[in-house]
Amino acid sequence: MDRREFIGALAASSFACALVGCAGRGIRQAGGSVMTVRGPVDRADLGMTLTHEHLYADVRPYAEQAAKPLPPDMDDVVAVVLPYLQEIRRHGCRTLIDCTATTLGRDPLLIRRLSEASGLHMLTVTGAYVAADGRFIPPYVRDQTDEQLAARWIGEWRDGIGDTGVRPGLIKLGLEGDPLSDIERKVLRAAARTHLETGLVIAAHTGPWSEVEPGRNARCAFAQLALLEEAGVAPSAWIWVHAQNEALGSHHVRAARRGAWVSFDGFRPEQATDYVALIERMREEGLLDRVLVSQDAGWYNAGQPRGGEFKPFHPIFTALIPALQANGFDEDEIATLFVRNPARAFAVRERTQQAS
């Protein structure tokens, strides 16, 4: 690292420490823990958090994965991915949430190894991904009832995923129906049961995305909220993943006012102006405390030499936060986005209609 890089990293780390200092007291007083791949941590200790990223993925259809498994070469994955994690740690990041769905390459032992090697807190998932025209759906998700699916996911929370001893820190769903399909409604009911038993937040990849039909993504989102509320789950237990794909910002406001988490999580450096506008609108509406921000970046792709193209994790720190600061966001507001909100969203606690 040359002198300029060192000074930049030091400044970023100092800024992140300042954010944690101004946010941590209130978080710790509120209590609660978050389940990482290395065990529970106090939510006040998460620090600067990237709430939706990917480390390793297998994006082949489930049938192809089952017919020809490609287990990761852990040494190679670590060699490729670890430098990207070390880079964001120098920028002050302390937690990365791996949102890779259960049938898209989730590997708890690999995530734990990367967590240990990088010093970052990391979370992994339980749940089911039934979007993408169903190509990642395993037979058991089609065949089992919502009660049986919930029992499976609750078992991963209680006993660990397989024989790894790693417990999930969130429920990840993939949904795209407009209207919701029967299988989507089933996995939502299973997620509601799992949340009420475990206190894990439900993060739902939400589609479809449509430039020509604003409001379509939101219809899928609000259909999910309605079903969860019918099951007794409060909106604060649900994250609208990929909300930036809904063109009508009024829907973001409406969801946040109901108590849901609105996640703008596909950031790329060339989108700084657009993301500032999205976040600024929420601030103007007094709803900054319902916003999550991340990149949906990474990842080492199974079956490709050296994992193929890897989208780095640092642009939040090198492009978006500076753009927010240039547009008048102060230290406390940035701490809300990247420290307080993730700590509250991923804290393990039951959130019901009666007590959200």
Summarize pLDDT for 303-316 with one digit per residue, the tens: 999 999 999 999 99
CB count, 10 Å around CB of 315? 19
Distance separating alpha carbons of residues 331 and 22, to the nearest angstrom: 8
Instruction: Among 4-8, 25-29, 125-129, 259-263, name the one with the lowest average pLDDT.
Output: 4-8
Summarize pLDDT for 69-107 with one digit per residue, the tens: 999 999 999 999 999 999 999 999 999 999 999 999 999
Tell me what the mean pLDDT of segment 109-122 comes to.
Answer: 98
- Rounded to a whole number of angstroms, the distance between the first and last alpha carbons of the chain is 47
Summarize pLDDT for 224-276 with one digit per residue, the tens: 999 999 999 999 999 999 999 999 999 999 999 999 999 999 999 999 999 99
Domains and CATH numbers, the chain: 3-345 (3.20.20.140)
Distance separating alpha carbons of residues 312 and 295, to the nearest angstrom: 9
Tell me what the mean pLDDT of segment 158-182 comes to.
Answer: 97
CB count, 10 Å around CB of 223? 19
pTM: 0.92
Distance separating alpha carbons of residues 141 and 136, to the nearest angstrom: 10
- Cis amide bond preceding 40, omega within 30: no
